[in-house]
Amino acid sequence: MWSIRRRLLSMIMEASKDTYPKEFGALLKAENHVIYELAILPGTINGDNHTIMWMYSKPIDFTVVGSIHSHPSGVIIPSEEDLHMFSNSGPIHIIVGKPFTLSNFKAFNREGKEIKIEII
């Protein structure tokens, strides 16, 4: 089972509020299924309905396990574009939604199926 540090999730929510109404996006770093840090890629573009991360600038780092991004609309359902990215980049992906509180997020696997994640 996956877990995420409460302090990191709080920081993600604050970054999502700061980026609003645009999306926020980053990569997730984990060890032993505990997500503990973000990797923000240089050149990331935060748009109204998208986040573009230049994966060519992704560091060779085996602690990167997936992605995080916000949905300013508050709808926490993966889009077709999200599902495409999920299938190509790690086993866990998190979407956070407005109003960006600790209860407004969901985690998904590569196929876009919702999975349980614990806040620690």
According to the model, what pLDDT value does residue 85 have?
A: 83
The DSSP letter of residue 54 is -
For residue 57, what pLDDT is reported?
46
Return the pLDDT at 66: 93
14, 23, 80, 81: the active-site residue = 23
Residues of the chain with pLDDT under 70: 41-62
CATH number, domain containing residue 41: 3.40.140.10
- Which range of residues forms the domain containing residue 13? 2-119
Give me the number of domains the chain comprises: 1
Strand, helix or coil for residue 8: helix
Report the pLDDT value the prediction gives residue 45, as an integer from 0 to 100.
52
Smallest CA-to-CA distance from 28 within 56, 2, 47, 50 is with: 2
pLDDT tens, residue by residue, 39-57: 876 555 554 565 555 454 4
Q: Are the CB atoms for 44 and 15 separated by under 8 Å? A: no
* Active site (annotated) includes residue 23: yes
Give the number of residues written for the chain.
120
